[in-house]
């Protein structure tokens, strides 16, 4: 039975809500996996080890459905570990064919950790698979059902030889360890993940309906706004290649479709920030596109839209809320004061790490003063 666009979009939104549950500070990443899947593009996640990159992709894949493939690449990873072994029966007949069952060529969602450590043979084969959805190896030629490949790395590659491969990942997100004020949420959420796998509340049929709506979207009305945003980025020294500029339209159309809109508007331009290649350039893009991004809105991808449009301001708002909640929850029991003070110090450290003193937003400046006074008072009492 066919599913209507409205029902399909709602099912995908529910799936993303379930997939994000228990993942602290990774909601935007979950949403970008889905956005990339609808757009038919790929996502690169850059961040230190142990920051729940694989867990976020795994849960999103389970929520959306479809065959999933995951692998940690290394310098000595063999192509057969990714694409499948050579079929020995066919080899006896003189044909070099690959057994792809359960391997990357048959996956619909894939996660490749340390993706830039792959050998030249692996990366060259991946280029065709990612770009054309075609697997070629020996006598094997097959179309692949891949919706999205998520690559992960500790850092962007510095080797120019990897530039062409890295450019196949249109969307990019940079993640950091969970900050001190949210450690309790991290521990609680992490414990819940052990017993609570994300239920599959969407289906590939629903994802296909939303993807088809994105492909049919009328980009005519929003295209002048996108072109002007690209000019603004160029004027600021942020140059996107022609290929990335063209392909970002797919992300804009996918964002609109996931929000239940058949015609993208200015509210759907925020994925442009994720198409900017580096963390520093993304921060600058948020600044120079502030007026355009102020219209960002997406009920299906709220965390990703907020991070793209607000960035540091969104973080400042969250820190202010966490700090204010701590100030209002000042304990009276002596045993609880020490733990409360550690939380205050964590909020202060996050402020100092995220904002230069002269760039501290007004709400945080007032909060920083209150925290400093309390911490100084506590130190005096302890002495």
Q: For residues 315 and 250, which has the higher predicted lDDT (pLDDT)?
A: 250
Q: Does any domain span residue 172? A: yes
Whether residue 2 is contained in a domain is answered as no
Q: Is the pLDDT of residue 230 over 80?
A: yes
- Give yes or no: residues 307 and 317 share one domain: no
Give the β-pairing of 140-143 and 134-137: antiparallel
158 and 51 housed in the same domain: yes
Q: What is the pLDDT of residue 264?
A: 96
Quote the tokens at residue 15: 């799936």
166 alpha-carbon distance from chain centroid: 16
Would residue 365 count as lying in a domain?
yes
| Residue 202 main-chain phi, psi, to 5 deg | -120, 170
pLDDT higher than 70, residue 311: no
312-328 and 302-309 are packed helices; what angle lies between their axes, rounded to 10 degrees? 110
The last residue of one of the domains, among 294, 311, 328, is 311
Is the same domain home to 187 and 230?
no
- Which position has the higher pLDDT, 212 or 362? 212
Tell me how far apart the alpha carbons of residues 175 and 145 are, in angstroms, rounded to a whole number: 28
Q: Domain holding 189: CATH number?
A: 3.40.50.300
Mark whether 52 and 182 lie in a shared domain.
yes
Instruction: From 311, 329, 356, give the residue that closes a domain.
Output: 311
Rounded-to-integer distance, Cα 350 and Cα 17, Å:
27
Question: d(Cα 346, Cα 143) in Å, to the nearest integer?
Answer: 51
> Is 204 in a helix, a strand, or coil?
helix
Does some domain include residue 203? no
168, 30: one domain: yes
Residue 3 lies in a domain: no
What number of other Cβ atoms are within 10 A of residue 329's Cβ?
10
Give the whole-angstrom CA distance, residue 71 versus residue 301: 27
Mean pLDDT calculated for residue range 180-204: 67
The pLDDT score that the predictor gives to residue 24 is: 83
Task: Please report whether residue 279 resides in a domain.
Answer: yes
In this prediction, residue 198 carries a pLDDT of 47
Sequence-ordered list of residues with C-beta below 8 angstroms from that of 357, at least 6 positions apart, any chain: none
Nearest-angstrom CA–CA distance, 338 and 334: 8
Calculate mean pLDDT across residues 233-255.
95
pLDDT confidence of residue 374: 75
Q: Is the pLDDT of residue 177 over 50?
A: yes
d(CA 250, CA 259): 14
* Tally of domains within the chain: 3
pLDDT digits (tens, 9 = 90+) for 18-68: 888 888 889 999 999 999 999 999 999 999 998 889 989 998 998 888 899
pLDDT of 315 higher than 70: no
d(CA 182, CA 100): 42
In a domain, 211, yes or no: no
Asked whether residue 236 falls in the same domain as residue 182, the answer is no
Q: What is the pLDDT of residue 362?
A: 73
Q: Is 303 left (phi over 0), alpha (psi -120 to 50) or beta?
A: alpha
Residues 105 and 246 in one domain: no
Residue 81's pLDDT is 95
Residue 144 and residue 86 share a domain: yes
pLDDT grade for 74, boundaries at 50, 70 and 90? very high
Could you tell me if residue 200 is inside a domain?
A: no
Let me know whether 172 and 231 are in one domain.
no
Given 311, 336, 351, the domain boundary residue is: 311
Same domain, 161 and 254: no
Mean pLDDT of 108-116: 96
Q: Kindly state the average pLDDT of the residues 174-187.
A: 80
pLDDT of 127-141, one tens digit each?
A: 989 999 999 888 889
Do residues 243 and 326 share a domain?
no
Percentage of residues in the chain having pLDDT higher than 90: 49
CB neighbourhood size of 87 (10 A): 18
Q: Please state the φ and ψ torsions of residue 355, each to the nearest 5 degrees.
A: -140, 135
Domain boundaries, position 185: 8-195
Quote the mean pLDDT of the chain.
86
Average pLDDT over residues 171-186: 83
**Is there a single domain that holds both residue 358 and residue 276?**
no
Q: How many CB atoms lie within 10 A of CB 76?
A: 8
More confident residue, 362 or 218: 218
């Amino acid at each position: 039975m066919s599913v209507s666009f409205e029902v399909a979009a709602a099912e995908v939104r529910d799936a993303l809500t379930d997939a994000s549950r228990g993942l602290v500070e990774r909601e935007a990443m979950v949403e970008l996996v889905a956005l990339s899947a609808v757009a038919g593009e790929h996502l690169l996640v850059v961040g230190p080890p142990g920051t729940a990159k694989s867990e976020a992709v795994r849960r999103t894949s389970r929520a959306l459905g479809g065959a999933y493939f995951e692998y940690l690449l290394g310098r000595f990873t063999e192509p057969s570990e990714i694409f499948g072994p050579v079929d020995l029966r066919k080899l006896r007949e003189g044909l070099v064919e690959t057994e792809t069952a359960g391997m990357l060529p048959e996956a619909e969602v894939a996660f490749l950790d340390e993706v830039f450590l792959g050998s030249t043979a692996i990366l060259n084969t991946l280029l065709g698979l990612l770009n054309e959805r075609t697997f070629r190896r020996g006598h094997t030629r097959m179309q692949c059902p891949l919706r999205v490949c998520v690559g992960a790395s500790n850092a962007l590659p510095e080797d120019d030889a990897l530039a062409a491969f890295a450019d196949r990942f249109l969307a990019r997100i940079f993640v950091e360890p969970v900050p001190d004020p949210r450690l309790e949420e991290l521990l609680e959420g992490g414990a819940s993940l052990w017993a609570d796998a994300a239920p599959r509340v969407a289906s590939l049929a629903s994802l296909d309906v939303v993807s088809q709506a994105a492909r049919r979207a009328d980009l005519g009305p929003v295209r002048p706004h996108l072109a002007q945003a690209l000019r603004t980025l160029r004027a600021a020294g942020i140059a996107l290649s022609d290929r990335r500029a063209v392909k970002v339209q797919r992300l804009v159309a996918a964002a609109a479709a996931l929000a239940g809109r058949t015609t993208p508007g200015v509210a759907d331009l925020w994925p442009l920030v994720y198409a900017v290649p580096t963390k520093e350039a993304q921060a600058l893009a948020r600044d120079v596109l502030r007026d355009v991004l102020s219209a960002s809105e997406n009920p299906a991808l709220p965390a990703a839209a907020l991070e793209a449009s607000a960035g540091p301001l969104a973080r400042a708002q969250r820190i202010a809320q966490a700090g204010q909640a701590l100030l209002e929850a000042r304990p009276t029991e002596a045993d609880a004061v020490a733990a409360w003070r550690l939380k205050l110090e964590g909020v202060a450290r996050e402020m100092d790490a995220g904002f230069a003193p002269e760039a501290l937003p007004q709400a945080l400046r007032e909060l920083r003063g209150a925290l400093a006074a309390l911490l100084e008072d506590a130190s005096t009492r302890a002495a």
